[in-house]
Amino acid sequence: MNTRIHDLPSEIGAAAMPLDKAPQCSGKARVNIVALGDVGTTMLIGLLLAGSDVIQSIGMCDINEKNLARLEMEMNQIRYPFAGLSGCSDPVLPPVGIVGEEAVFDCDVFIFCASKGVPPIGAGGDVRMAQLEANRGLVRHYALLAREAKFKGQVCVVSDPVDPLCRAFLDVSGLHPSQIQGYGLGVMHARACYYAQKEPRFRRYLTEGRAFGPHGADLIIADSLTDYDDGLSRELTKRVVTANLAVRNLGYKPYIAPALSSAALSIILTLRGQWHYGSVYLGEAGKGAFFGVKNCVAGGRVTYEDAAACPQLYERWLQAYTALCRLV
């Protein structure tokens, strides 16, 4: 008999916590972003251009005051030429402003893009996990601010590695797990699609495949949910996991696709109540992990695709999930 995503918590002796306390905006969302480096700035541009239907305003918080001043000018100089005028259907883009750390949780959506110790060009290994310890301290700082503010909105973790950083935010903030989601899986799916379009043997991923698990070494790419091929799936997974290194080997930091596919577009889909890829909490409070799945946030709850898996695919899920649980 096939097992499903919801069976994973029982493997570590935990019950599944209902994700039924997700925040729900009555109108467009006020969004605040912490840290406007390469990823944060690229994501900001994506949110600005594609999210006007669900975003009321965007606030920026960063220690670099000159960069904030520059972005406040540049972002507010991006506009459709006749938006807001009679007879023009082009959208008026949301205003972008500067917010101090004391007001960073005066919003509906908080996006964490802060990062320390980004590995340099030429770094080998899983560069995402190299950032865990430094970024865990940063995320706990903002989680404490969220606790003090009694934050009721949505927390979006974009910094690497997203899954354990989501858990760190949960443990300190006291928020409900359904208020927190990690955004790293969207680009892994997009990279799988990239290779599937290039090589016919991976082609069915485009219509039958799924991405699961963390944004890193334990990623699971399934070539098909209905007719899973373990060999092809593992080969495609390896391509996807090392895709960032291929860009690094060209002498560039691979941040454009993650900032847009994982962050900007996926956060916009979240606000629209549409299906997207992100890491949601599986397990009871204090005993579980954030795990990447296809999901949607609507009606005050997080609903994930409770996919069924053959034994080979389930074993890959279980390995990734238990490894994430051990990272606490």
Per domain, the residue ranges of the chain are 3-186+252-326
Start-to-end CA distance of the chain, whole Å, equals: 31
Please, which residues have CB within 8 angstroms of residue 249's CB and are 6 or more apart in sequence?
A: none
What's the pLDDT score for residue 124? 52
Residue 80 pLDDT > 60: yes
| Low-confidence winner among 106-115, 119-128, 169-178 (lowest mean pLDDT) | 119-128
Cα dihedral value 133, 322, 293, 59, nearest 10: -20
Grade residue 122 by pLDDT with cuts at 50, 70 and 90: low
Amino acid at 271: L
Report the distance separating Cα 250 and Cα 227, nearest Å.
36
> pTM of the predicted model, to two decimals?
0.95
Tokens of 58: 């965007």
Q: Which CATH number fits domain 3-186+252-326: 2.60.40.10, 3.90.470.10, 3.30.200.20, 3.40.50.720?
A: 3.40.50.720
Could you give the percent of the chain with pLDDT greater than 90?
88
Q: Which residues of 77-104 are buried (b: 16+ CB within 10 A; e: fewer)?
A: eeeeeeeeeeeeeeeebbebeebeeeeb
Residue 130 pLDDT > 80: no
Distances (CA, A) of 66 to 62, 71, 103, 106, 261: 10, 9, 19, 23, 28
DSSP for residue 288: E
Q: Tens digits of per-residue pLDDT, 24-69? A: 888 999 999 999 999 999 999 999 999 999 999 999 999 999 999 9
Q: Tens digits of per-residue pLDDT, 196-244? A: 999 999 999 999 999 999 988 899 999 999 999 999 999 999 999 999 9
Report the distance separating Cα 212 and Cα 77, nearest Å.
39
- Cis amide leading into 161 (omega within 30): yes
Please, which residues have CB within 8 angstroms of residue 229's CB and are 6 or more apart in sequence?
A: 223
